[in-house]
Amino acid sequence: MFNREINMRLYIIASLLFGLKIYVVYRFLFNITIENPLQEIILFINPFVSAFFVFALSIWMNERRQLKFIKYIALIGTIVIYFNLVFYRNFTDFITIPVLFQGSNAADLGGSILGLVEIGDILLFADVFIIWILANKFGNHITVAYGKKTKLFALTLSIGFLLGNYVLAEIERPQLLQRTFDREYLVKNIGIFNYHIYDAVLHSKSKAQRVFADGNELAEITEYMEEETTIEGESDLFGIAEDKNVIFLSLESIQSFVINNTVNGEEVTPFLNDLIDNSYYFDNFYHQTEQGKTSDSEFLVENSLYPLSRGAVYFTHASNDYNSLPEILGENGYTSSVLHANNKSFWNRDVMYDNIGYDEFYDIASYEVNDENSVGWGLKDKDFFKQSMKYLQGMEQPFYSKFITLTNHYPFDLGEEDASIEPYNSNSKTLNQFFPTVRYTDEAVRDFFEDLKESGLYEDSIIVLMGDHYGISDFHNKAMSQYLDKDEITDFDQIQLQRVPFFVHIPGHEGETISKISGQIDVKPTLLHLMGIESENDLTFGTNLFLEERKDFIALRNGSFITNDYVYTKNQCFDRESGELIDSTNELVGEGESSVCQPMKEKVEKELDYSDQIVYGDLFRFYDFE
């Protein structure tokens, strides 16, 4: 039946059978969420594209080798898929190299592995079986020695398919490979085999950088920290939260420009505005995140180190030694947890949280999520807080609990029933919709405060609120200038828009508004100070915000910075008060002269570089924090 006329070659049969199998596994055995038709299309074509690419390599070999190659590739591919499936049944996640070799995950699995194997799994090997029979019985009919033309044609075709797949994936999720986001996204967009290759590259890159570090770099860095970022002294607030719970709210995409502001004549954040009156509120507080978005802000808060300029440090350096907040709190009698109604593997949180010492992570599996209570990215904030109360009440005290909200996330979708205010009216749908979802989160926080009071937890806690990063990018500057009633959004304004709200609410305290420049890098030393935990030996780039003095700049991750006097960005130095351009290192400064921002620019670059050295070299493994 398989003769030259039909031209059904084994590599094509194998691609179809194997591709189909993989598709079925993706679609029905892994619980992959499909959010739109494009994802569905990618998920369907990817298995065939990947299978064809590998099987088509066989035609460069002689007939006997072709058969062998196809047989074993099908077998090995199936084993890889199968291992992932078994792993997935236990962890709802895909295998990464670190979990395979060093994670506690894999060890946990050891004992229970038999329980995850099902008899029907044998069907996963059906195509392998067919391929082996065909190869053994009809081998010489379904393979030939291919001519150069066919070889090149098949190769071009398979690379073309692969590129096509990649382009679709980029359309679906721009910067997928640079930013990673989530293993599930990777698998559904580039397929599980390409995902493993990607994971291996990522892993070896960070391993290599680590290998060349020996700890000698640390002396210079600690000296710098001692001089620049360690500020002696105590404030009245030292230990004010000792033995109290700390509830940390990470507010998705909330920027400072909505605070005490209105849209269509309505207050955007009435609850947060009122909260300012009885909180320590920082109105010049900057986010310092890059591509890792929320996870970068988490990293800053937990470590007082900078995230990376490329990729998400939560992904690239999740197994480093850190001296993280949850770990320190654990040593000081606190239990720690994170509550966030998303996939636990998003931003690799499950792995990172485990490493830095969180006791508990309440991810999407801890919540009841259905069509009624979700919008946009998932569970609505109000339901999220409501459903979280039972966990909070059950926690051993004192606890540190981080809540990460989600509703106010791009593209800022909200049902009419949840919108208390009208959208804005401009050419940017994104900005327009931003206001009602910000208001929604404001109300969710308001309700949460009520529930805390009702449960009695409020009195025993301090509540910290922080915007994680910007929600409105410079892409919407035209609409933004309309909203802010400005002719244009200058580079100076753009930096000022990177401010996010930061509140420390201590029940019974009147608080005050503090206008010193500050940022996410300062949160860790500030919290430890409030909790009465000495942190002199911590290596941090931030400083405690309740001291009179502080380090004299805030660096954004892209090298822009803010000092008391200046704002520097894109080679321009602005006066912070007036927003006037003082000089530009490109144009206005003549030869031999230098910008007034120059000395600080060098310092900022140095600090960012030191932080990178710590992360890339995993330098804290050489340091004794005791």
Known binding-site positions for substrate? 409
The partner in contact with residue 442, picked from ligand GP9, Mn ion, none with C-beta cut-offs of 5 to 8 angstroms by kind, is none
For residues 498 and 479, what is the distance between their CA atoms, to the nearest angstrom? 16
CB distance 356 to 327 below 8 Å: yes
The partner in contact with residue 342, picked from ligand GP9, Mn ion, none with C-beta cut-offs of 5 to 8 angstroms by kind, is ligand GP9
323 binds ligand GP9 (CB under 6 A): no
346 binds ligand GP9 (CB under 6 A): yes
225 alpha carbon, distance to own chain's centre: 27
Residue 293 or 499 having the CB closest to ligand GP9: 293
Provide the minimum distance between the beta carbon of 255 and ligand GP9 in the complex, in angstroms, as a whole number: 13
Provide the minimum distance between the beta carbon of 404 and ligand GP9 in the complex, in angstroms, as a whole number: 5
342 binds ligand GP9 (CB under 6 A): yes
CA dist 15 → 58, 189, 608 (Å): 11, 18, 48
Residue 58 or 291 having the CB closest to ligand GP9: 291
Nearest alpha carbon to residue 438 among 515, 481, 507, 500: 500
CA dist 353 → 92, 178, 225, 302, 339 (Å): 16, 22, 26, 10, 12
CA dist 354 → 29, 128, 319, 336 (Å): 26, 38, 9, 11
Work out which of 381, 468, 583, 618 binds Mn ion, going by CB under 5 A. Answer: 468
Binding annotation: 252, 294, 409, 468-469
Provide the minimum distance between the beta carbon of 471 and Mn ion in the complex, in angstroms, as a whole number: 8
- From the list 294, 335, 437, 441, the catalytic residue is 294
295 alpha carbon, distance to own chain's centre: 4
> How many other C-beta atoms are found inside a 10 Å radius of the C-beta of residue 175?
12
CA dist 446 → 249, 404, 441 (Å): 12, 15, 8
In one-letter notation, the amino acid at residue 319 is S
Which phi and psi angles does 360 have, rounded to 5°?
A: -145, 140
Residue 13 or 177 having the CB closest to ligand GP9: 177
* 33 carries an active-site annotation: no
| Helix locations, 357-472, DSSP H | 381-393, 429-455
Binding annotation for Mn(2+): 252, 294, 468-469
Residue 294 or 563 having the CB closest to Mn ion: 294
Provide the minimum distance between the beta carbon of 75 and Mn ion in the complex, in angstroms, as a whole number: 42
CB distance 218 to 74 below 8 Å: no
Provide the minimum distance between the beta carbon of 306 and Mn ion in the complex, in angstroms, as a whole number: 17
For residues 105 and 370, what is the distance between their CA atoms, to the nearest angstrom? 29
294 binds ligand GP9 (CB under 6 A): yes
Work out which of 179, 293, 439, 550 binds ligand GP9, going by CB under 6 A. Answer: 293
Provide the minimum distance between the beta carbon of 504 and ligand GP9 in the complex, in angstroms, as a whole number: 22
CB distance 622 to 218 below 8 Å: yes
Nearest alpha carbon to residue 347 among 335, 361, 334: 361
The partner in contact with residue 499, picked from ligand GP9, Mn ion, none with C-beta cut-offs of 5 to 8 angstroms by kind, is none
550 binds ligand GP9 (CB under 6 A): no
Paired tokens of 244? 């109290």
Query: Per CB under 6 A, which of residues 249..268 are in contact with ligand GP9?
Result: 252
Query: Per CB under 6 A, which of residues 349..408 are in contact with ligand GP9?
Result: 404, 406
Query: Per CB under 5 A, which of residues 227..256 are in contact with Mn ion?
Result: 252
The partner in contact with residue 603, picked from ligand GP9, Mn ion, none with C-beta cut-offs of 5 to 8 angstroms by kind, is none
Query: Per CB under 6 A, which of residues 401..440 are in contact with ligand GP9?
Result: 404, 406, 409
Paired tokens of 488? 């244009």
294 binds Mn ion (CB under 5 A): yes
50 binds ligand GP9 (CB under 6 A): no
For residues 618 and 620, what is the distance between their CA atoms, to the nearest angstrom? 6
Nearest alpha carbon to residue 248 among 540, 543, 528: 528
Binding site for Mn ion (CB under 5 A): 252, 293-294, 468
Catalytically active residues, by annotation: 294
Binding site for ligand GP9 (CB under 6 A): 252, 293-294, 342, 346, 404, 406, 409
